[in-house]
Structure 1
Amino acid sequence: MEKNILFNQRIRLRHLHTFVAVAQQGTLGRAAETLSLSQPALSKTLNELEELTGVRLFERGRLGAQLTTMGEQFLTHAVR
Protein backbone atom coordinates (compact mmCIF):
# COMPACT_ATOMS: atom_id res chain seq x y z
CA MET A 1 0.00 0.00 0.00
CA GLU A 2 1.46 3.33 -0.99
CA LYS A 3 1.29 6.04 1.63
CA ASN A 4 0.32 8.74 -0.89
CA ILE A 5 -2.74 6.73 -1.95
CA LEU A 6 -3.91 6.21 1.63
CA PHE A 7 -3.41 9.74 2.84
CA ASN A 8 -4.56 11.84 -0.06
CA GLN A 9 -6.10 15.26 0.50
CA ARG A 10 -9.66 13.98 0.70
CA ILE A 11 -9.11 11.96 3.86
CA ARG A 12 -9.95 14.15 6.82
CA LEU A 13 -9.04 13.92 10.47
CA ARG A 14 -12.62 12.86 11.30
CA HIS A 15 -12.17 9.82 9.04
CA LEU A 16 -9.03 8.82 10.93
CA HIS A 17 -10.59 9.43 14.36
CA THR A 18 -13.56 7.28 13.38
CA PHE A 19 -11.37 4.51 11.98
CA VAL A 20 -9.13 4.36 15.06
CA ALA A 21 -12.12 4.42 17.43
CA VAL A 22 -13.76 1.46 15.67
CA ALA A 23 -10.46 -0.43 15.64
CA GLN A 24 -9.99 0.18 19.37
CA GLN A 25 -13.58 -0.37 20.49
CA GLY A 26 -14.36 -3.34 18.26
CA THR A 27 -17.95 -2.32 17.48
CA LEU A 28 -19.53 0.58 15.66
CA GLY A 29 -21.91 1.20 18.54
CA ARG A 30 -19.19 1.55 21.17
CA ALA A 31 -17.06 3.67 18.85
CA ALA A 32 -20.02 5.96 18.13
CA GLU A 33 -20.65 6.32 21.85
CA THR A 34 -16.98 7.11 22.48
CA LEU A 35 -17.01 9.81 19.79
CA SER A 36 -20.45 11.15 20.79
CA LEU A 37 -21.84 10.35 17.35
CA SER A 38 -24.89 8.47 16.20
CA GLN A 39 -24.14 5.03 14.82
CA PRO A 40 -25.47 5.98 11.34
CA ALA A 41 -23.17 9.04 11.26
CA LEU A 42 -20.18 6.92 12.26
CA SER A 43 -21.06 4.27 9.69
CA LYS A 44 -21.33 6.93 6.97
CA THR A 45 -17.91 8.33 7.85
CA LEU A 46 -16.38 4.85 7.84
CA ASN A 47 -17.97 4.08 4.47
CA GLU A 48 -16.58 7.36 3.09
CA LEU A 49 -13.10 6.37 4.26
CA GLU A 50 -13.35 2.94 2.66
CA GLU A 51 -14.50 4.57 -0.56
CA LEU A 52 -11.65 7.08 -0.49
CA THR A 53 -9.03 4.41 0.12
CA GLY A 54 -10.61 1.93 -2.26
CA VAL A 55 -10.23 -0.92 0.24
CA ARG A 56 -12.39 -2.66 2.81
CA LEU A 57 -10.91 -1.79 6.21
CA PHE A 58 -13.28 -3.82 8.40
CA GLU A 59 -15.26 -7.02 8.20
CA ARG A 60 -18.53 -6.21 9.92
CA GLY A 61 -20.66 -8.83 11.57
CA ARG A 62 -22.86 -9.59 14.54
CA LEU A 63 -19.81 -9.86 16.77
CA GLY A 64 -18.45 -6.45 15.83
CA ALA A 65 -15.96 -5.01 13.38
CA GLN A 66 -12.72 -6.86 12.71
CA LEU A 67 -9.84 -5.21 10.87
CA THR A 68 -9.00 -6.68 7.49
CA THR A 69 -5.36 -7.16 6.52
CA MET A 70 -5.48 -3.82 4.72
CA GLY A 71 -7.19 -2.29 7.75
CA GLU A 72 -4.33 -3.45 9.98
CA GLN A 73 -1.82 -1.84 7.63
CA PHE A 74 -3.86 1.35 7.50
CA LEU A 75 -4.03 1.46 11.31
CA THR A 76 -0.24 1.55 11.60
CA HIS A 77 -0.22 4.73 9.50
CA ALA A 78 -3.33 6.27 11.07
CA VAL A 79 -1.94 6.22 14.61
CA ARG A 80 1.35 7.90 13.67
Structure 2
Amino acid sequence: MEEARQYNVHDAKTHLSHIPEQVATGEEVVISEAGEPVARVVPLHARVRRAGRGSLQGQIHIREDFDGLPDDLADTFGMR
Protein backbone atom coordinates (compact mmCIF):
# COMPACT_ATOMS: atom_id res chain seq x y z
CA MET A 1 0.00 0.00 0.00
CA GLU A 2 1.21 3.45 -0.88
CA GLU A 3 2.25 5.73 1.98
CA ALA A 4 -0.16 8.57 2.73
CA ARG A 5 0.81 12.10 1.79
CA GLN A 6 1.53 14.11 4.90
CA TYR A 7 1.09 17.83 5.58
CA ASN A 8 1.80 19.86 8.67
CA VAL A 9 -1.10 22.06 9.79
CA HIS A 10 0.29 25.18 8.09
CA ASP A 11 0.82 23.38 4.76
CA ALA A 12 -2.61 21.74 5.03
CA LYS A 13 -4.17 25.21 5.29
CA THR A 14 -2.14 26.37 2.30
CA HIS A 15 -3.09 23.32 0.18
CA LEU A 16 -6.63 22.88 1.48
CA SER A 17 -8.19 23.26 -1.97
CA HIS A 18 -6.01 20.40 -3.31
CA ILE A 19 -6.54 17.93 -0.48
CA PRO A 20 -10.12 16.96 -1.49
CA GLU A 21 -8.90 16.39 -5.07
CA GLN A 22 -6.18 14.03 -3.80
CA VAL A 23 -8.59 12.19 -1.54
CA ALA A 24 -11.18 11.86 -4.33
CA THR A 25 -8.63 9.88 -6.36
CA GLY A 26 -8.21 7.41 -3.49
CA GLU A 27 -5.22 8.93 -1.72
CA GLU A 28 -5.11 9.30 2.03
CA VAL A 29 -3.76 12.51 3.52
CA VAL A 30 -2.31 12.77 7.03
CA ILE A 31 -2.19 16.11 8.85
CA SER A 32 0.48 16.50 11.50
CA GLU A 33 1.14 18.96 14.27
CA ALA A 34 4.66 19.27 15.67
CA GLY A 35 5.61 16.17 13.68
CA GLU A 36 2.86 13.98 15.20
CA PRO A 37 -0.05 12.82 13.04
CA VAL A 38 -3.33 14.25 14.35
CA ALA A 39 -5.78 13.59 11.52
CA ARG A 40 -6.25 11.38 8.51
CA VAL A 41 -8.37 12.47 5.55
CA VAL A 42 -9.80 9.49 3.65
CA PRO A 43 -12.32 9.15 0.83
CA LEU A 44 -15.95 8.59 1.79
CA HIS A 45 -17.81 5.71 0.23
CA ALA A 46 -19.91 6.91 -2.64
CA ARG A 47 -23.63 7.03 -2.02
CA VAL A 48 -25.65 4.45 -3.83
CA ARG A 49 -27.80 6.10 -6.44
CA ARG A 50 -31.04 4.27 -6.78
CA ALA A 51 -33.03 4.52 -9.95
CA GLY A 52 -36.79 4.93 -9.93
CA ARG A 53 -39.23 2.08 -9.55
CA GLY A 54 -39.40 -0.08 -12.65
CA SER A 55 -36.02 1.01 -13.95
CA LEU A 56 -34.95 -2.63 -14.46
CA GLN A 57 -38.11 -3.58 -16.33
CA GLY A 58 -37.28 -5.91 -19.19
CA GLN A 59 -33.76 -6.59 -17.87
CA ILE A 60 -34.64 -9.24 -15.29
CA HIS A 61 -36.46 -12.51 -15.96
CA ILE A 62 -37.96 -14.54 -13.12
CA ARG A 63 -38.93 -18.06 -14.06
CA GLU A 64 -42.55 -19.16 -13.61
CA ASP A 65 -41.48 -21.89 -11.18
CA PHE A 66 -39.42 -19.52 -9.01
CA ASP A 67 -41.51 -20.15 -5.88
CA GLY A 68 -41.72 -23.91 -6.39
CA LEU A 69 -39.72 -26.22 -4.13
CA PRO A 70 -38.14 -29.47 -5.22
CA ASP A 71 -40.23 -32.45 -4.07
CA ASP A 72 -37.75 -33.58 -1.42
CA LEU A 73 -37.71 -30.13 0.23
CA ALA A 74 -41.49 -29.83 0.06
CA ASP A 75 -41.74 -33.20 1.82
CA THR A 76 -39.24 -32.10 4.48
CA PHE A 77 -41.36 -29.06 5.29
CA GLY A 78 -44.65 -30.99 5.09
CA MET A 79 -45.85 -28.98 2.11
CA ARG A 80 -47.08 -31.89 -0.01
- Normalised by the size of structure 2, how large is the TM-score? 0.23
Query: How does the TM-score come out when normalised to structure 1?
Result: 0.23
Q: Which has the larger radius of gyration?
A: 2
Question: Which has the bigger relative contact order, CA under 8 A and spacing at least 6?
Answer: 1
In terms of fraction of residues, the more strand-rich structure is: 2
Higher helix share: 1
